């Protein structure tokens, strides 16, 4: 009987997620807020709380986080990461300063203490790679000149998670300075060792994992990822970081094949993860925090736009591309929920979960809109502030067509083909 109830509940969850995904696809926005709302509806204090399938959903949610990070790692090679660290680290520092500090300040103002400040700093700092990648594809901007700048910032944020997650795990566990330092040292050592092996021996690893049989490739990559994630967690390093490093170590045809095979599994278990987070958030706890969450969302949307604008300007991108880069970075999603989920599981500050849910719901909806409309809105405001007279019109048009002075045609940002590579 228990088995039948479990199958009914879990089948209903998967079917509901599929229908919600279809609805989101029809209106061309991320399904993440719908998944969170579904979790709120069927969790504690919701319309119809689940019982039989909750434990399995919890395991599926953990696998979802691991697959999200693995797939993210597959997008990059170790050499790409090293190159990004060397050339784009100033943008990463600006990103951290402008977006982590507002979250930390908000937590302190709300009386959540230093640990809450570190947690909320991470929630507001990290953009959603999944949502942003989908938005870039939907808008046809994968070939735009500002897109490498956006991806570089996302890569730096992902790498920063290899340091941040062990720190936050140690803080939430309440360990002392010595134990926390040891955890961080282990995390950095493991990350550094994996990057070294990936750069030096990545081809050998990929050759070992490679298989012409899709079934064998799927089993080997998935098994290796879960194994490394478990070992990482046993060493007090985040399982998510372990999965991310496995993705980095794989390259070439193996990475492409694994990406194609694992994408459906990633989508399934990631959806379960967002539902799981919603299941553990009482809907009645959201209204008291919705106003401060909305205010913080507005502030950090503006700081992300400023981050993207600054980074694109530093890379020699034209004004229009700068605004597009900033608007694209606004969305928060999976990482913010992962960080908040760690705090909720540790029992630190009960309002963090509802606050993070409301915050992500706002920005995951606003993010695709800012990606689409930040540049035209900025252009419209600019025209209002500096109206061109009929005599100066040709000169003004010429100025608008050359956003980057004397930097060569490749750095020029126009509305036509030269904006792509």
Percent of the chain exceeding pLDDT 90 equals 16
N- to C-terminal Cα separation, the chain: 59
pLDDT at 46 (0 to 100): 58
Q: Would you place residue 300 in the very low, low, confident or very high pLDDT band (cuts 50, 70, 90)?
A: very high
User: What pTM was computed for the model?
Assistant: 0.70
DSSP helix/strand/coil, 54 = helix
Q: Would you place residue 53 in the very low, low, confident or very high pLDDT band (cuts 50, 70, 90)?
A: low
pLDDT at 296 (0 to 100): 95
Q: Which two tokens stand for residue 274?
A: 């967002």
Scanning 350-418, the segments in alpha helix (DSSP H) are 352-385, 393-401
The CA-based diameter of the chain, rounded to the nearest angstrom, is 82
Q: Which two tokens stand for residue 259?
A: 């990406």
Question: What does the alpha-carbon distance between residue 152 and residue 158 come to, in Å, rounded to a whole number?
Answer: 10
Q: What is the pLDDT of residues 125-137, one digit of tens each?
A: 999 876 787 677 7
Mean pLDDT of the chain: 78
User: Greater confidence, 331 or 82?
Assistant: 331
pLDDT at 412 (0 to 100): 39
Question: What does the alpha-carbon distance between residue 152 and residue 93 come to, in Å, rounded to a whole number?
Answer: 12
Question: What does the alpha-carbon distance between residue 160 and residue 176 come to, in Å, rounded to a whole number?
Answer: 22
Element (H, E) at 299: helix 290-314
Contacts of 233 (CB under 8 A, 6+ apart): 239, 242
Strand partners, 336: none
- Tell me how crowded residue 290 is: count the other CB atoms within 10 A of its CB: 16
Q: How many residues does the chain have?
A: 421
Q: What is the pLDDT of residues 194-231, one digit of tens each?
A: 667 766 777 787 788 888 888 888 899 999 889 888 88
Q: What is the pLDDT of residues 304-349, one digit of tens each?
A: 999 999 999 998 899 999 999 999 999 887 778 778 877 877 777 7
Residue 174 pLDDT greater than 70, yes or no? no
Q: Would you place residue 232 in the very low, low, confident or very high pLDDT band (cuts 50, 70, 90)?
A: confident
pLDDT at 268 (0 to 100): 85
Residue 3 pLDDT greater than 60, yes or no? yes
């Amino acid at each position: 009987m228990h088995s039948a109830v479990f199958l009914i509940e879990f089948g209903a969850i998967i079917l509901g997620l599929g229908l919600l995904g279809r609805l989101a696809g029809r209106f061309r926005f991320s399904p993440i807020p719908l998944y969170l709302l579904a979790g709120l509806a069927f969790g504690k204090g919701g319309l119809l709380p689940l019982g039989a399938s909750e434990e399995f959903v919890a395991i599926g949610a953990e696998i979802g986080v691991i697959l999200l990070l693995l797939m993210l790692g597959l997008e990059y090679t170790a050499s790409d990461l090293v190159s990004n660290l060397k050339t784009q680290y100033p943008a990463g520092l600006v990103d951290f300063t402008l977006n982590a500090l507002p979250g930390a300040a908000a937590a302190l103002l709300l009386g959540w203490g230093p640990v809450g400040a570190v947690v909320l700093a991470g929630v507001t700092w990290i953009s959603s790679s999944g949502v942003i990648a989908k938005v870039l594809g939907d808008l046809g901007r994968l070939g735009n000149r500002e897109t490498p700048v956006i991806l570089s910032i996302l890569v730096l944020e992902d790498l920063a998670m290899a340091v941040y997650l062990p720190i936050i795990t140690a803080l939430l566990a309440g360990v002392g300075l010595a134990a926390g330092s040891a955890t961080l040292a282990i995390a950095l050592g493991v990350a550094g060792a994996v990057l070294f092996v990936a750069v030096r021996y990545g081809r050998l690893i990929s050759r070992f994992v490679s298989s012409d049989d899709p079934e064998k490739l799927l089993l080997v990559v998935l098994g290796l990822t879960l194994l490394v994630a478990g070992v990482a967690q046993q060493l007090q390093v985040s399982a998510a970081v372990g999965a991310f490093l496995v993705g980095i170590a794989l390259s070439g045809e193996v990475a492409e094949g694994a990406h194609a095979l694992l994408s459906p599994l990633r989508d399934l278990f990631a959806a379960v993860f967002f539902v799981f987070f919603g299941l553990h958030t009482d809907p009645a706890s959201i209204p008291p925090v919705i106003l401060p969450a909305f205010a913080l969302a507005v502030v950090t949307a503006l700081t992300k736009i400023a981050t993207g604008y600054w980074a694109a300007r530093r890379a020699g991108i034209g004004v229009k591309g700068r605004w597009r880069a900033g608007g694209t970075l606004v969305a928060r999603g999976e990482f913010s929920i992962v960080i908040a989920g760690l705090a909720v599981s540790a029992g630190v500050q009960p309002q963090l979960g509802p606050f993070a849910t409301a915050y992500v719901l706002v920005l995951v909806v606003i993010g695709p809109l800012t990606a689409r409309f930040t540049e035209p809105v900025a252009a419209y405001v600019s025209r209002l502030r500096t109206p061109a007279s009929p005599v100066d019109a040709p000169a003004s048009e010429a100025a608008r067509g050359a956003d980057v002075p004397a930097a060569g045609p490749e750095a020029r940002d126009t509305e036509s083909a030269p904006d792509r590579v």
